[in-house]
């Protein structure tokens, strides 16, 4: 009888240890994997501070968990009922214990509060030094990025120079969204009629994936974006390209006739009513600004890679790709689609 209970106990203990080892191995693999969209792999000072604060509370919680569960296990094993054994002594109201378990949590909360308050000020005040400013406007279901110092208005991909402070002002044109690039910084709500602000910085070049983090309607899950961090030299070259594009479209055409037809179709097929392309008569503001669209890596708020096939599929039937989004199916003839694809990809 007793032996079988003991062996069950050993079995369960072994299982528990096995599960814990598995979890540990998983965490190890995760930590060594290539960067993912994760707050556990910080790539800049803001995200790093936030992870440090998080880990401090995690370590304290692990300590409390171990202590409480340890005491519980000791109590369960030592005072378990056995045949013929009297009920153990009942204890209530131990003053020393009461004082200890009031003071210890107060100390722990104080230990967490100090770096938390320091962190709040850190997040709120961008450090001095070289910085750029980007105004972020969230739309159902895409992101607009305006660089007021350079006259740039682009969408869904925010290019930033590494090692520089990026000051963000954030708002929304419709409902509440939330701007979140986990590897670079915590979330910030974008509210209609109000500007919030935050800052972030990327240490090394790379693509950091962003996501709307506040449910905002049918295509919320597909309201993604990318932060593309480049060396300051690459970033300056991108800005210089924009300065040219603002004067006249930079058209790199391997197939000039097709591209010219595409530019015409873009005006004939109502695209211009919702989209702007700098230096042309297309000045719509309902949809993303498509200036230098050929330099974009993604399409439809980070859903697809910006390949000719995907772009054609998007123009053919945007509703099939991203149900509910605000670009209607326009029944564009296939020849025009191919021409528009060549045109948009020549803008680079």
Total interface residues for ligand HEC by CB under 6 A: 30
CB–CB of 152/221 below 8 Å?
A: no
Which residues are 177's β-sheet partners?
190
Binding status of residue 328 toward ligand HEC by CB under 6 A: yes
Select the binding partner of residue 270 from ligand HEC, Cu ion, none (C-beta < 5 to 8 A, by kind): ligand HEC
* Distances from the Cα of 121 to the Cα of 47, 79, 111, 124, 215, angstroms: 14, 50, 17, 5, 28
Cβ of residue 224: shortest distance to ligand HEC, in angstroms? 9
Binding status of residue 259 toward ligand HEC by CB under 6 A: no
Of positions 184, 229, 277, 301, contacts ligand HEC by CB under 6 A: 301
The DSSP code sequence of 225-285 is EEEEEE-HHHHHHHHHHHHHHHHS--B--SSHHHHHHHHHHHHHTTHHHH-B-TTSS-B--
Binding status of residue 325 toward ligand HEC by CB under 6 A: yes
> Which range, of 49-57, 88-96, 216-224, 243-251, touches Cu ion by CB under 5 A?
216-224
Structure-block tokens of residue 179: 């701007």
First-last CA distance in the chain: 79
Of 155 and 170, nearer to ligand HEC (C-beta) is 155
What is the rounded CA–CA span in Å between residue 139 and residue 216? 9
Select the binding partner of residue 216 from ligand HEC, Cu ion, none (C-beta < 5 to 8 A, by kind): Cu ion
What is the rounded CA–CA span in Å between residue 80 and residue 88? 9
CB–CB of 163/150 below 8 Å?
A: no
Contact letters for ligand HEC, residues 122-161 (x by CB under 6 A)? -------------------xx------------xx-----
What is the rounded CA–CA span in Å between residue 280 and residue 277? 6
Of positions 134, 198, 202, 300, contacts ligand HEC by CB under 6 A: 300
Q: Which residues contact 328 (CB under 8 A, 6 or more apart)?
A: 318, 319
Binding status of residue 273 toward ligand HEC by CB under 6 A: yes
Contact letters for ligand HEC, residues 184-223 (x by CB under 6 A)? -----------------------------------x----
Closest Cα to residue 227, out of 128, 151, 161, 275?
161
Of positions 131, 255, 280, 326, contacts ligand HEC by CB under 6 A: 326
Binding site for ligand HEC (CB under 6 A): 141-142, 155-156, 219, 269-271, 273-275, 286-288, 290, 299-301, 311, 314-315, 322, 325-328, 330, 332, 340, 344
The footprint of Cu ion (CB under 5 A) covers: 177, 212, 216, 220, 223
């Amino acid at each position: 009888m007793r032996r079988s209970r003991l062996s069950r106990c050993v079995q369960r203990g072994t299982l528990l240890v096995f599960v814990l080892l598995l979890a540990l191995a998983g965490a190890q693999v995760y930590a060594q994997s290539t960067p993912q969209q994760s707050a556990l792999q910080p790539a800049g000072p803001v995200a790093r501070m936030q992870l440090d604060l998080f880990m401090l509370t995690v370590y304290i919680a692990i300590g409390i968990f171990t202590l409480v569960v340890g005491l519980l296990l000791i109590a369960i094993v030592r005072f378990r009922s056995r045949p013929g054994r009297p009920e153990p002594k009942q204890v209530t109201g131990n003053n020393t214990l009461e004082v200890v378990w009031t003071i210890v949590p107060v100390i722990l909360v104080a230990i967490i509060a100090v770096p938390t308050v320091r962190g709040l000020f850190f997040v709120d005040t961008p450090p001095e030094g070289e910085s750029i400013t980007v105004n972020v406007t969230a739309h159902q279901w895409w992101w607009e990025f305006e660089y007021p110092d350079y006259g740039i208005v682009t969408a869904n991909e925010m290019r930033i120079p590494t090692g520089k402070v990026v000051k963000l002002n954030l708002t929304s044109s419709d409902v509440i969204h939330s701007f979140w690039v986990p590897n670079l910084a915590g979330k910030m709500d974008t509210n209609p009629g109000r500007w919030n602000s935050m800052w972030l910085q990327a240490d090394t070049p790379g693509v950091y994936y962003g996501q709307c983090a506040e449910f905002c309607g049918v295509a919320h899950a597909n309201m993604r974006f990318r932060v593309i961090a480049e060396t300051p030299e690459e970033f300056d070259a991108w800005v210089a390209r924009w300065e040219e594009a603002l004067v006249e479209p930079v058209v790199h055409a391997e197939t000039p006739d097709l591209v010219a037809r595409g530019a015409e179709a873009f005006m004939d097929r109502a695209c211009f009513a919702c989209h702007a392309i700098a230096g042309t008569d297309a000045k719509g503001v309902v949809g993303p600004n498509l200036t230098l669209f050929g330099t974009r890596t993604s399409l439809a708020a980070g859903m697809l890679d910006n390949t000719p096939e995907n772009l054609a599929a998007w123009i053919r039937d945007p509703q099939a790709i991203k149900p509910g989004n605000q670009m209607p199916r326009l029944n564009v003839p296939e020849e025009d689609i191919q021409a528009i694809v060549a045109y948009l990809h020549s803008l680079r």
